[in-house]
Amino acid sequence: MTSVFSKAERDAMQQAAAEKRATRGLKGAAKKDAEAQACVDAIEALEGFDRTLAARYHVLVTTVAPELDPKTWYGFPSYARDGKVVTFVQPAAKFGSRYATVGFQETAALDDGGMWATSFAVVEWDDDIERRLTDLVRRAAATT
């Protein structure tokens, strides 16, 4: 029988389960510290532009929205409020994509009328992209 999930999708689900096991029994600052280290480790494990993007995005988010907690989510570097992911970086290599993605979950305060974007393909990092991502992170981290 053929699986309905690709190997990359199965690996991501296994990664999510491993993330939960790694912090089982931890609470408060110990849990946040372990999750933050897992985020840094995930970034350091990346290569090429995936690593550049994730590292620069990490600095951007932790500077612009220090209230968001670094962690991993399906192996992706991510940033959460009260345990719920707000934004994340999906490396291109994770699913063999031609571009990395910066994504936002429904907890992100990006609502803009009847339709708005929740993910952005990123193939380079320059001042304009940094400004645009900074604005998105500020808006996403805002509490309503």
The DSSP code sequence of 51-88 is HHHHHHHHHHHHHH-TTSEEEEETTEEEEEETTEEEEE
pTM across the whole model: 0.84
Please indicate, yes or no, if residue 104 is contained in any of the structural domains: yes
Please indicate, yes or no, if residue 19 is contained in any of the structural domains: yes
Model pLDDT for residues 19-49, shown as the tens digit of each residue: 666 676 667 788 788 889 999 999 999 999 9
Q: Is the confidence at residue 144, as pLDDT, over 60? A: no
Q: Give the domain range for residue 37.
A: 7-141
Number of domains into which the chain is organized: 1
Please indicate, yes or no, if residue 107 is contained in any of the structural domains: yes
CA atoms within 13 A on the CB side of 93: 14
Domain harbouring 46, CATH code: 3.90.1150
